[in-house]
Amino acid sequence: MFIVSNLPACAGVGFKPEHFRDILAAPQPLGFFEVHAENYMGAGGPPHAQLGALRERYTLSVHGVGLSIGSMEPLNREHLMRLKLLCERYQPESFSEHLAWSSHNDIYLNDLLPLPYTPQTLARVTEHIDEVQSALGRQMLLENPSTYIRFSESTIPEIDFLTEVSKRTGCGLLLDINNVFVSAKNHGAQPLAYLDSFPFDRVKEIHLGGHDEEVDEVGGPLLIDTHASPITEAVWSLYSHVIARAGALPTLIEWDNDVPDWPTLRHEATLAQNILSDASCASAA
């Protein structure tokens, strides 16, 4: 059996334990919650008690950050089995991971690191996603990365790379619009041009989050993907553009650091939901 990613085309929120009481206190007008897989790989305890309660009430998306799909080394089988166990336990409506690597030589570096885009890395990523999907018995979504540097050996544009992986493996794409904005600014490119050539028909989820702005040594913008602040106006406007073109899509608000109180986070989700609702009304009219 192959379970296809299936989130509702509504706004959802990345779950943080500090919001658990607020969330359970009243029904939340949200399409889904998303959790980081690696936080729920212990045997038991409060994390599972909370996730169980959340799962009973809401649609669930499991988002991995440690599988290292973009690595040239073999996947960590133990970690893949932990993911499988988690998916079997909670039966999430969707599972997603990143076009990035995070482990090398058995060392886990705890960051989403970039890879060159070449025929060789394309073949490797394809193999890894085939392996993940067959181990989990489900379709996964692959997220476009936020990057700060480029590789001189890259020969394939990022969108072509993602599209080809999706074609070869049947994986869906997770379009992180904040990542698009961060990467475009960091590489002196236009985020709108990137988005306008993105294969929206393969997108099954959108991520929105905040970033920090710094400068590099020559005074150029250096945007950092921190998920520690509200979504910027520029990213909201790109999001509206995407929804107007692609139609309503499941949309997650990510706020992982300097986590705000629950009403502040829910407000961001309401803003996204308003944009989604406008799109649904427009298409119905």
Residues that bind other proteins (CB under 8 A): 38-39, 41-49, 65-68, 71-73, 76, 78-79, 82, 101-111, 113, 115-116, 118, 120-121, 124, 148-153, 186-189, 216-218, 220, 222, 224
Q: Which is nearer to other proteins, 43 or 281 (CB)?
A: 43
Cβ atoms of residues 123 and 174 within 8 Å: no
Burial class (CB in 10 A: 0-12, 13-18, 19+), 183: buried
CA distance 90 to 85: 9
DSSP-assigned letter for residue 7: -
- CB of residue 244 vs other proteins: minimum separation in angstroms? 29
Q: Which is nearer to other proteins, 20 or 200 (CB)?
A: 20
- CB of residue 216 vs other proteins: minimum separation in angstroms? 4
Cβ atoms of residues 232 and 211 within 8 Å: yes
Backbone φ and ψ of 28, nearest 5°: -100, 135
- CB of residue 69 vs other proteins: minimum separation in angstroms? 12
Q: Which is nearer to other proteins, 72 or 282 (CB)?
A: 72
Q: Which is nearer to other proteins, 61 or 76 (CB)?
A: 76
Q: Which is nearer to other proteins, 222 or 275 (CB)?
A: 222
Cβ atoms of residues 136 and 83 within 8 Å: yes
Cα 13 → chain centroid: 12
